Amino acid sequence: MATPTTHNLAVDGRRLWDAIHETAAFGGTPKGGVRRLTLSDEDRQVRDWFRAACEALGCAVTVDDMGNMFARRPGRRNDLAPIAFGSHLDTQPTGGKFDGVLGVLAGLEVLRTLHDAGYETNAPLELVNWTNEEGSRFAPAMLASGVFAGAIAKETALAQTDREGATFGAELDRIGYRGEEPCGARAFSAFLELHIEQGPILQDEDKMIGVVEAVQGIRWYEITLIGQDAHSGATPMRLRRDALVGAARVVAAVDRIGRARPDCVGTVGLMEVKPNSRNVSPGEVFLTVDFRSPDDAKVAAMEADLIDAVAEITSDLGLEGAPARIWDQPATIFDAECVAAVEAAAEAFGQGSRRMVSGAGHDAAYVARVAPTAMIFVPCKDGVSHNEAESSTLEQCAAGAQVLLDAALRYDRKFG
């Protein structure tokens, strides 16, 4: 096969755009978003589509025992570990068309472009679809890449349940995507992940490409506050043990803690109230807390503040409950050589770029523990993500795919 120079290879932005909208039909919502929860029937459908698209290019598709999918394109030196790229195909319950999906389908477009050109890389290339990046059905997020990197025990991951009690392992079997390869058994020479920014910085600065050099630290907590169900009319206020009042105070405390230090955020994103009846003061509330900062010491300080706040609230209201930390992802610094390859590709593209830190968690943060890694961001409209209104443009998506292609080929030159 021929090996033309990198600048002679151009992705097909329209083909990528069409693939994004074709896959959006798997779990498409009336408002134009996507509901494709991990290991759902819709997830199986998009996985089947992805497998067929990769096999049509002659790629060998392997699935590991956490459901991660790997599509390999051979290189001249198949003794080398592959240069990998990809992201995830699962979405939030009210997700958009681009979060995660862009990284997988841009990777597919890279493979299609190389296939059409007859371009042979030195190292093999591998396109990855990671399982359960979102964590919206099975917590924590980035579950399967965490197992791949050795940060999460496989047995723990497979035993995770959704809010209806279904286990990750059983659902993996149900949709037919538990492979035989042990998760983490393969190695990468490098890993690159393209993603929408999920924030407003690139749009605000009129930059096309974000060169991501780090991901901030994240900790997740679950809290169950236990009080006493009581009749709304017959129980005096002074005798109530209202768990929802406690939860409201926790929400306010999390907001206060998140605002107290620069570069920190705190969020309560999920709450379940029991018995959830209009004439009963609630006796039980389950809620989640999400803390993030680029500084791990600040995340630890927020945790200490949360523990103190919940202790004070439960004591004051006669409730039981305390925060249980269920996930701790330290801040991640990406590999300098991979970041440099992305930056050089962005500069060659010539439509404006900047270095930045990711506020959102990504599979790349776990993969960075076992392989040289970097990320590429493109803008999304108004920074809106995890929302059906999430939007990017054909030109922005194509730009990200072009930089992904160029960065992968730049990194590949070291093996020539």
Q: pLDDT band for 7, please (50, 70, 90 cuts).
A: low
Q: Tens of pLDDT along 330-361? A: 999 999 999 999 999 999 999 999 999 999 99
pLDDT over 90 (residue 8): no
Q: pLDDT band for 119, please (50, 70, 90 cuts).
A: very high
* Cis peptide upstream of residue 372 (ω within 30 degrees of 0): no
Q: Tens of pLDDT along 133-180? A: 999 999 999 999 999 999 999 999 999 999 999 999 999 999 999 999
Phi-psi label, residue 118: left if phi above 0, alpha if psi -120 to 50, beta otherwise? left
Mean of pLDDT over the chain? 96
pLDDT of residue 377: 98
Domain ranges of the chain: 6-216+331-415, 217-329
- Among 362, 366, 389, 393, smallest CA distance to 376 is for 362
- Among 61, 95, 59, 56, smallest CA distance to 75 is for 59
Measured in whole angstroms, how far is the alpha carbon of residue 119 from the centre of its chain?
31
Q: Tens of pLDDT along 387-413? A: 999 999 999 999 999 999 999 999 999
CA–CA distance, 191 with 364 (Å, rounded to integer): 7
DSSP one-letter string for 136-182: SSSSSSSHHHHHHTTSS-HHHHHT-B-TTS-BHHHHHHHTT---SBP
pLDDT of residue 5: 41
Phi, psi of 47 (to 5 degrees): -65, -45
pLDDT of residue 9: 96
Look at the block and give the residue holding tokens 């399982």.
131
Pick the CATH number of 217-329 from 3.40.50.11890, 2.40.128.110, 3.30.70.360, 3.40.50.300: 3.30.70.360
The mean pLDDT value for 68-80 works out to: 98
Phi, psi of 149 (to 5 degrees): -85, 0
pLDDT of residue 15: 98
- Among 105, 119, 82, smallest CA distance to 404 is for 105
- Same CATH fold, 217-329 and 6-216+331-415? no
Could you tell me if 125 and 112 are in contact, meaning their C-beta atoms sit under 8 angstroms apart? no
pLDDT over 90 (residue 6): no
Global confidence as pTM: 0.90
Q: Tens of pLDDT along 10-43? A: 999 999 999 999 999 999 999 999 999 999 999 9
pLDDT over 70 (residue 288): yes
Architecture of the CATH domain 6-216+331-415? 3-Layer(aba) Sandwich (3.40)
Could you tell me if 294 and 217 are in contact, meaning their C-beta atoms sit under 8 angstroms apart? yes
Q: Which amino acid is at 240?
A: R
